[in-house]
Amino acid sequence: MPEYALSDKDVAQMAPLLAELAKTHDTIEDDTLIRRARVLARSLPVGLVEFLEEYRLSEPSAVCVVSGLPMEEELLGPTPEHWRDSQYGSPAFTQEIFFLLCASVLGDVFGWATQQDGRIMHDVLPIKGHENYEIGSNSLQHLSWHTEDAFHPCRGDYVALMCLKNPDAVATMICDAADLDWSSLDVAALFEPEFTQMPDNSHQPQNARQSTGDPVVDRLRIRSFELIQSWNDDPVKRPILFGDNVDPYMALDPYHMKTEGWSERSLRAFEALCAQIEAKMRDVRLRPGDLVFVDNFRAVHGRRSFQARYDGSDRWLKRLNITRNLRGSRGWRPAADNRVIY
pLDDT digits (tens, 9 = 90+) for 60-78: 999 999 999 999 989 999 9
Q: What is the rounded CA–CA span in Å between residue 129 and residue 57? A: 41
Sequence-distant (6+) residues with CB within 8 A of 121 are: 28, 29, 87, 96, 99, 100, 109, 318, 319, 320
Question: Is 318's pLDDT higher than 80?
Answer: yes
Predicted structure pTM score: 0.93
Q: What is the rounded CA–CA span in Å between residue 119 and residue 122? A: 7
Look at 180 and 200; give whichever has higher pLDDT: 180
Give percent of the chain above pLDDT 90: 84
pLDDT at 213: 77
- The mean pLDDT of the chain is 94
pLDDT at 208: 63
Give percent of the chain above pLDDT 70: 98
Q: What is the rounded CA–CA span in Å between residue 211 and residue 218? A: 6
Q: What is the rounded CA–CA span in Å between residue 68 and residue 4? A: 9
Question: Is 300's pLDDT higher than 80?
Answer: yes
